[in-house]
Amino acid sequence: MTELITAVNILLSTYKIAKELYEKSDYVGLKSHILSMNEQILDMKEVALELRDENVNLKEEIKKYKEFEDRGFVRKDNKAYYDKNDIGPYCPTCFDNEKYLSLMSAPMSFPPACPKCNYSLDL
């Protein structure tokens, strides 16, 4: 990622030099090349920013999975998640869709329901 941003900055510097040379010259065809190069630089910069944002999001998602894994969560009976101390249930919908750990309502309420998305377990 850093290499891409560095490349874009180098291209931008080259563009500025080419623009200065164009302003000092009589070559008309140079203008179209410079404008094309400017458009390509802007496109590359946009792609680099999109990749950076995607990278940040993916790192955050990996972090959530790692936290989930470190806490020893398991899915029981293909219904809900419980931690290594059998605390739960945690909503499978919230975690599977948003990587969010939502502790479902206390076992006193039946069936347990998620306070965030209202998903309830069929027990």
Residue 100 and residue 85 in contact, taking contact as beta carbons nearer than 8 Å: no
CA 36 to the chain's CA centroid:
30
- Which DSSP symbol is given to 85? T
Residue 2: predicted pLDDT? 72
Token pair 């998602």: residue: 61
Q: What is the pLDDT of residues 82-100, one digit of tens each?
A: 887 888 888 889 888 887 8
Q: What does the alpha-carbon distance between residue 27 and residue 105 come to, in Å, rounded to a whole number?
A: 74
Cis peptide, bond prior to residue 89, ω within 30 of zero:
yes
Q: What is the pLDDT of residues 23-60, one digit of tens each?
A: 777 676 777 777 788 888 888 888 888 999 999 999 98
Give Cβ neighbours of residue 1 (< 8 Å, ≥ 6 apart): 48, 51, 52, 55
Residue 123: predicted pLDDT? 63
